[in-house]
Every structure is written in structure tokens, then in C-alpha cells.
Chains A and B, each alone.
Chain A
Amino acid sequence: MANEVIAQSENHPDNDTAEDSEFEPFILGIFCNWCTYTGCDQAGTSRMQRPANLRVMRVMCSGRVEPVMVVEALKRGADGILIGACHIGDCHYVNGNHKTVRRIPLISKYIQQYGFEPNRVWLRHISASEGAELTEIVHEYVKILKKIGPNSYKKKNTLINQSIQN
């Protein structure tokens, strides 16, 4: 299985674009369906250009985000996790985002125990009409992650390293 993974990643045609000097942070967005995912769609419909670093996973509510998802993504080499939630008071499920807000300091402590920088996890409140804000946040996050540098777990694990850079 491991060999297969390596073989596949070597086959990726854009392998050569990911060079160490040109570090492109891998950001995993975990966005709630009603606000941030919709806002991300709106950024697309309005053609707001942003750096190609953000992958988006959809959940129904940011309250669904479990600490283990963040840790798993970081352990596997993601450079930043951007959790997108509704603004306080706007939650489609009344107060799911309150729970996320409370969970974030905990997650932050948790990942620091693994040796990750606290900035590797961001929670941002982005509404369904704030594509422009999302774009700005991604620009800012990419800048900050470039300053922090690549995820240290990624360097340790060549297997992951090669997969990630695709």
C-alpha cells in the first residue's frame, strides 16, 4: 500500500511545482454549510481571486468539528486548518458556533502539546455574503503560514511529504 502511494504521487504531473523554496502552504478549510461554505461559493461566483492553497471540506455546522480532525490533518502534514463558522447570533442551528468558539482554545492547547504552532488552527466567522472577507482571510493566512514555514511533521515523514506536495 505504501509503495502504491509513493508511486502515485510521483506520477502526479504537478509534482515539480511544489519546491521547497516556493513553499505553498496546504490549508484545509472546514466550513459550515450555511455561512462559510456559501460565502466561499459566493467568492467563486464573484470571481474573487485567491492563492491556490485552500481545500474545502463541508460540514453542516462548525459545531461538528472534532479536535481529532484537526490533529489528524496536522499529523498528516496540513500546514493550516481554517475553520469557518457563522457569525455569533447567525448560526443556522441557533448556537452551534458558540460551541466551536469554546472548543478552539482547547484545540489550540491540544495541538501545542503535539508541538504545532497555535496559528496552525484558525477559526473565522464568515457569513454567506462575505466572499470578499474569506478571500482576504486566505491571503492573510497564506502569508502567515509562509512565515511559520512548513509543518514539521511533514518533514519527518517523507511518505507524507511526497503526497502532500501534490
Chain B
Amino acid sequence: MISNTNSANKKIKIGVYICHCGLNIGGVINIDNLIEFVKTLPNVSIARQYKFFCSEVGQNMIAADIQDNLINRVVVAACSPRMHEPTFRQVLTSAGLNPYYFVQANIREHATWVHMYDPDGATRIAKDHLRMQIGKAVTLKALFPQKVKVLPSSLVIGAGISGINSAIELATQGYQVYLVERDLTIGGHMAQLDKTFPTMDCSACILTPKMVEISRNPKVKILSYSEVEKIDGYVGNFQVTIRQKAHYVDQEKCTGCGACVQYCPVSVGNEFDLGMTSRKAIYIPFPQAVPAKYTIDIKHCINCGICSRSDVCEPDAIKFDDEDKIMEINVGTIIVTTGYDVINPQYLKNYGYGKYENVIDGLQMERLLNSTGPTLGKPLRPSDSKAPHSVAWIQCVGSRDNREGCHSYCSRVCCLYAIKQARQYKEKHPEANIYIFYIDIRAFGKGYEEFYESAARDYRIKFIRGRVSELAEDPDDKYIIIRGEDTLLGKPLEIQVDMVVLSVGMESRHDVEQLAALLTIQRSADGFFLEAHPKLRPVDSLTEGIFMGGAAQGPKDIPDAVAQAKAAASSAASLMAQKEIEVEPYFSFVQNGLCSGCRSCIDQCPFGAITFNESINKAEINSIKCKGCGTCVSTCPSNAIIQNHFSKPQLMAIIKAVLGEI
């Protein structure tokens, strides 16, 4: 794969291009000085500066120098290579030079932006970074990207509103989709909601048709009650192992008639209603569940066997000896739409959640408002089952809070859902007193501000600015006393209400770490999955071929989650539409003459890319399986392995260049 087109007699001519990046670089360091400095370095033929080398004019300057045969290596000193390396490689290709004759010195993110008030320091670092890359430029080799096939199939992990939308988009374009959901039904959190802000659409009315649509789509295979166990492979060909948990009811035979339910003697709290109602040990989560097949909750089942009687289950679907099934699939791309967990406010002791009966959280209120919920849409006080005359919502519970266990970010949905719930309650009980305690109302979306204004004006909901310091309970009547401060009046405040709703926000899934490790994708400081670039690659992960959508990437409302899910599907589709893609040739290879056959590299490879050829007694690396980490290179005692673009001479050249050689 390595060709020696730069024969010994062909002189290395490096072109150095220093970008001002507007004022980002040029505003901190003196570029003229930098140019003068670079011109003194060996092998540098040309040193130029320009406002924006990433612009068309800038790119043309580089291309012209290559075409005029003035240079044969390119060093651009600008932003991070993670930003514009592909851009400049394209310039080299179009000008007829191998794109791997390019290196980029990062003098923006690693110099001027972190030493903004220290121009001397920034200049020192910029010069060193230039010397490092000029040192490496001399050692560059021409490389040729490898081509890999991309399977026309996709794995979508998590079947909430985001996952459903991603799957529908891909299936419509003709790709095979495997939609994995660990719960019994698809639908996610949205299925639990009553109305959606600001249009007051009924959540179930817009979600359940989608659920049915996707279950009928021949291109989508729904794998509910399943979890991803293992992911191998690389972009274009991931091998995925999925565990389908045992239902103890034959899913083929079960007709979903529900005759078994009335006979089951076991009652447990229904998770779908957050424990506010009960369900039997044989159950479906809610009537519109997809797939609408029953499952035995084996943890709570007492093995009485009534449901398996032929007069109870006519199709004879009960199967107590059911076992988990392991399934293996190959997919080209993966979309992660695993959503969020609701913050549990129990650790905020001053709100007494879990201790005071009449303090509930936002999702519980959502179920109480829901016509299929525990109170059939008429919210009642948990302590006496009467309609409360006064209700207060407390905002930013667990969000925008630096206390232990809380999150500093804004969860983006709580302002609007609290206003929505307050309006819904006011519609049912116009005489009720409704309060919303807030820090700021963030009504940022389309129609949100109007929705908020109308709540205050037309619904007479009282907005009080100030974080509540504590809640107390009247021991006899179970009223809740709210203590806090009205920060607009600057006065302390004490209000007694019948019920309090804590507007809890979103946090990353409790077991997100495991999935991140499985997919080898990164997470941001808030715990959610990290996108490859916050502006330009908002749905890509850093691992090629893996995309993300919805609240798995950060707190989002439904319109944003759907938009991102569709964007993720579109990105995955554009990858699969190419059928074959180029991957960077950073793989390693063994120099046969030097390999001593010690086999120490073989165990080091996490991808099983290294095999031992017994006939010649040498190790061999499969360049397609190799992902280019270079761990085997640093292990080889004979220096027999070379990693393309990060070879030992290249890395040593960088060290030598910055430490005295040039």
C-alpha cells in the first residue's frame, strides 16, 4: 500500500500555509513573524498567509502551488485537523498530489484560543507545532484509502419516538432496519404523555399510528424485549449480537386476547403508570402496546399455572420453559436513540419527594392527566383522592442546580410541560389556584412564547420567580406549605397548596456507560452521547457509521428529537447509498523480513486482525479488520510493524523536530 513515489532524487519541497482564521489566529500572534520563522526551516519552499485558507480562494492558492510544481508536501497551520483535514486533503487530490502528503498544525484550538492574553506564549506554541508538522512532512508517504462495502441495513437501538422515526425514514428508502427495544413495547416515554405542548396534540393520537405503521412495515424488524449484547466489526459491516429475553408466552401463538389476565392471581405495581396502578404478572404494558402480545413477569409469577390451562389460554401460548434467544445480525450502520431517564428528585431532601404524599413529579402528573391513566384524566390528590383546589409546579428540579446529584444543564422541556400541565388542570378546574415557581421561563421553540403568555394572561396562572427553599407538610390535612422568596418583589413567601408537582428534568440513562463502551462512542460531561462536532456533525458519533438521535444526545423536546432522528437516518442513508466507502489507510502491516515470529502482537489486537502464518512463521495483519490503533506497533520487539501515517520514523521525526533538530 505504500509506494515510494518520492524517490531519493526528488527533492522534498514543503509549502507552509498559515491561516489567520479571521482574528482567531491573526488577532493573537504576528503572522508575518511566523512566516519569516518558517522560511528559515529546512525543506520549506514556500510560506504563505491568508485570511481563510479553508475558503475557495485559499484552497486555490494551495492547489496552484502544487500544480506549478513549486511544492510536493503541504503543511497548513490553522484549526484542528479534526475540523479541516478532509477539506485540505481534497485540495491535494484535486491538484494531483497524494492526499496523505498533507499535515495540519493546530495553532488555533491548541495555541491562540488557549493563550489569548499571552501572545508570546501562543507564538511559542504555534512555532513548535509548525516545527513538529514540518518535521513530519518530510517523512510522509503516499497512501491509498481502502474501500469497504457498506451493507444496506441499519440497527436502531431504542424505539421511542426518535427510534421509530429513524427506522421509518430508513425503511422508506428501502433499507432493512432492525429496531431493538429493551421494553415490552415500542413507544418510549412519549406513550406515557397526555398532551404535547404547545399545540395540545394528544400524544397517543400522534404516536400510536406511527407505532402501528412501523409494525406493518416489511422492511422493519421490531426486536422488542431485546438488548444489544455485543458489537463487532466496523463501518459498513457491524456484527451485532442481540439477546431476546424470554417472554414465557409464545409470541407467535399469543393472539393478545387478554383472557389470561383476569385469572392471574398476582398483582404488582404497573411501571407504565409509575406504580400508581396495578397490573397482573401476565400483562401488556398498556392497551395500545406494539407488539400487543402478553408476557409473564417471571420475577413476580408464583407458577400457579392457571394461565396455561387450556380453558384460559385457548391458543396454548403459555410456555414456562421459554428461554432467552441469542440472535446475530450484520448491519452497515447503527443509530442510537436510547432516550433519557427522568431525574429522581428523592435526593433533594428539601422537597420531601417520597416522604410527603402530595408531592409528585412531572411524569406522574402526566399520567394523572392522561385519560387512560390511573385517575382517568382527572388528577386527584394522592392523600385523599380529592381534586386539589390549589396546585404549585416547582421548576428546575435537578436541573440548573450545582448541588450534589443535580445537573448544571437546562433540561429544556420542563418549563413548557409545567405550563401545559397547569393549563390542562385549569381547563378542568377553572376555580383552582395555580402557581408556577420558576428561575427563568425558557420558551424558545416555535409557538412556545405565545403559549406561555397565554397561560399567564388567559388562564390566570400565577408565575412566581424564585427557587423554592423548602416544602413542608401539614401533618393532619396533608397540605403542602411552600417556603421561598419572590425575587421580583424581594420578599419572603409562604404559600399553602393542596398538591405540588416537581418539574423534573432529563438525565442520561442510568446504564449509558455500558452502551457507550459497547459501541466505543464517547459521552459529553453531562453524561449524554457526544456528537462529532457540535455544529456541523450534530448526529454523528466519533465512530464512523454510528449516529445518534433524540434525547440520547442531550435533553430535547419532541420536535427536536424527531428532527434529529430523521437527520441521523439521513446521514446513515447517505453512507449506505454509496454502497462502498473509503476508510482511512491508517492500518498497520508487518515487514516480513523483520518479524521474528514471537507472536507478542497477536494478543494485543482487540479486533483479532493479526493472525500467525505458520508456513512462513510470521505474523500477518488483515488490513480491513485493523482499525489502526497502533498498539501492536508499540509492542513489537523487532520494530517489524509499521502503522501508516503514524510510523515510528514519523512520530520520532515530530519529537526530534520540536526538540532541537529543526
Listed in ascending order, the chain A residues whose CB lies under 8 Å from chain B are: 5, 8, 11-14, 17, 26, 28, 33-35, 37-38, 40-41, 43-45, 47-52, 54-61, 63-66, 68-69, 72-73, 76-78, 86, 89-96, 99, 103, 127-130, 132, 135, 159-160, 163-164, 166
Within 8 A of A (CB), among B524-572: 524-525, 530, 542-543
Q: A47 to B116, Cβ gap below 8 A?
A: yes
Q: With A34-B522, A55-B128, A96-B606 in contact, is A160–B114 under 8 Å at CB?
A: no
Q: List 6 A-B contacts (CB under 8 A).
A: A51-B121, A61-B629, A92-B542, A94-B606, A103-B634, A160-B659
Q: Secondary structure of the B side of the interface?
A: helix
In the complex, residue of chain A having the shortest beta-carbon distance to the beta carbon of B42: A4
Q: Is B264 an interface residue (CB 8 A)?
A: no
* Assembled-state Cα–Cα distance A63/B516 (Å): 20
Q: Which residues of A contact B114 (CB under 8 A)?
A: 43-44, 47-50, 135
A34 to B643, CA, bound (A): 17
A59 CA / B148 CA spacing, docked (Å): 23
Contact with A along B623-662 (1 / 0, CB 8 A): 0000111110111000000010010100110111011111
* Distance to closest chain A CB from B653 (angstroms): 11
Min CB–CB distance A137 → chain B (angstroms): 13
Bound complex: CA of A26 vs CA of B131, how far in Å?
15
Contact A52 to B121, CB < 8 A, known contacts A28-B658, A99-B631: yes
* Number of A-B contacts defined by CB within 8 Å: 185
From known contacts A50-B114, A55-B125, infer whether A61 and B655 are also in contact, taking CB-CB under 8 Å: no
Look across to chain A and name the residue whose beta carbon is closest to the beta carbon of B24: A44
Q: Give the interface centre of A5, A52, A65 by most chain B CB atoms within 10 Å.
A: A52
B4 at interface, CB cutoff 8 A: no
In the bound complex, residues from chain B placing their C-beta under 8 Å from that of A8 are 40-41, 662
Q: Find out whether the CB atom of B132 lies under 8 angstroms from the CB atom of A44.
A: no
Stretch at the interface among B104-112, B163-171, B315-323, B452-460: B104-112
A-B pairs with lowest CB-CB distance, top 10: A52-B121, A44-B109, A63-B631, A64-B630, A76-B659, A61-B629, A163-B660, A93-B629, A94-B606, A44-B113
A66 and B40 contact, Cβ closer than 8 Å, known pairs A49-B115, A52-B125: no
How far apart sit A33 and B586, CA to CA, in the bound complex (Å)? 12
For residue A78, which residue of chain B has the nearest CB?
B659
Q: Chain B: residues with CB nearer than 8 A to chain A? A: 33, 37, 40-41, 80-83, 106, 108-111, 113-118, 120-125, 127-129, 132, 513, 516-517, 520, 522-525, 530, 542-543, 586, 604, 606-607, 627-631, 633-635, 643, 646, 648, 651-652, 654-656, 658-662
Q: Which of A26, A37, A47, A99 lies in contact with B113, CB distance below 8 A? A: A47
Could you say which residues of chain A place their CB within 8 Å of the CB of B41?
Answer: 8
Inter-chain contact B109/A99, CB cutoff 8 Å: no
Q: In the complex, are the beta carbons of A128 and B660 less than 8 A apart?
A: no
Q: How many Å from the CB of A157 to the closest CB on chain B?
A: 9
Q: Assess whether B634 is in contact with A66, with CB atoms less than 8 Å apart.
A: yes
> Closest chain B residue to A73 by CB distance?
B655
Chain A residues near B633 (CB-CB < 8 A)? 64, 66
Whether A38 contacts B631 by the Cβ 8 Å rule is no
- Which single member of A14, A56, A130, A159 contacts B525 (CB below 8 Å)? A130
Residue on A nearest B627 in the bound complex, by CB: A93
Q: Which residues of A contact B628 (CB under 8 A)?
A: 60
* Complex CA–CA separation, A48 to B633 (angstroms): 34
Q: Please indicate the chain B residues that have their CB under 8 angstroms from the CB of A90 in the complex.
A: 516-517, 520, 522-523
* Residue in A5, A52, A86, A159 whose beta carbon sits within 8 Å of that of B122 in the complex: A52
Most buried by B among A26, A33, A64, A73: A64
B513 interface neighbour in A35, A55, A89, Cβ under 8 Å: A89
- Closest CB in chain A relative to B640 CB, distance in Å: 13
B661 (CB) vs chain A CBs: closest residue: A5
Contact A56 B110 (CB under 8 A): yes
> Could you say which residues of chain B place their CB within 8 Å of the CB of A50?
114-115
Find out whether the CB atom of B660 lies under 8 angstroms from the CB atom of A159.
Answer: yes
| Chain B residues closer than 8 Å to A60, beta-carbon distance | 586, 628-630, 643, 646
- Complex formed: what's the CA distance from A103 to B633 in Å? 14
A92 to B643, CA, bound (A): 17
Q: How far is the CB of A125 from chain B (nearest CB, A)?
A: 12
- Would you call B129 and A55 a contact (CB within 8 A)? yes
With most chain A CB atoms within 10 A of its CB, the pick from B108, B117, B654, B661 is B654
Let me know if A56 and B129 touch, CB within 8 A.
Answer: yes
Known: A41-B110, A76-B655, A93-B607. 15 other contacts (CB 8 A): A8-B40, A35-B522, A44-B108, A45-B109, A57-B658, A60-B630, A64-B630, A65-B634, A69-B655, A90-B520, A93-B631, A94-B520, A135-B114, A163-B659, A166-B128
Contact A58 B81 (CB under 8 A): yes
State the Cβ distance, A70 to closest chain B Cβ, in Å. Answer: 9
Given contacts A49-B114, A64-B631, A76-B660, contact A59 B651 (CB under 8 A): yes
A122 to chain B, nearest CB (A): 17
* Cβ contact within 8 Å between B643 and A64: yes
* C-alpha spacing A50/B109, complex, angstroms: 12
Minimum distance in angstroms from B609 CB to a CB of chain A: 11
A56 CA / B114 CA spacing, docked (Å):
13
Given contacts A60-B628, A99-B604, contact A40 B110 (CB under 8 A): yes
Minimum CB distance partner of B588 in chain A: A64
Interchain CB contact under 8 A, B123 and A14 = yes
Q: Which B residues are CB-close (under 8 A) to A55? A: 125, 128-129, 132, 658
Which residues on the B side are within 8 Å of A164 (C-beta)?
659-660
Q: How far is the CA of A104 from the CA of B654 in the complex (A)?
A: 21
Please state if B118 and A73 are interface contacts (CB–CB under 8 Å). no
Measured between alpha carbons, how far is A60 from B122 in the docked complex, in Å? Answer: 25
- Which of A5, A65, A95 interacts with B660 by CB under 8 Å? A5
CB < 8 Å neighbour of B629 from A48, A96, A166? A96
Chain B residues whose CB sits within 8 angstroms of the CB of A65 once the complex forms: 634
Most buried by A among B111, B117, B629, B633: B629
Chain A residues, Cβ within 8 Å of B115: 49-50, 52
- Least CB distance, A75 to chain B, in whole angstroms: 9
In-complex Cβ contact of B520 among A13, A48, A54, A91 (8 A): A91
Which partner residue on chain A sits nearest B106 by CB separation? A56
CA distance A58 to B648 in the complex (A): 13
Distance in Å: Cβ of A41 to nearest Cβ of chain B: 4
Residue on B nearest A92 in the bound complex, by CB = B520
Q: Is the CB of B525 within 8 A of A129?
A: yes
Report yes or no: B118 in contact with A52, Cβ–Cβ below 8 A: yes
Q: Contact: A49 with B109, CB < 8 Å? A: no
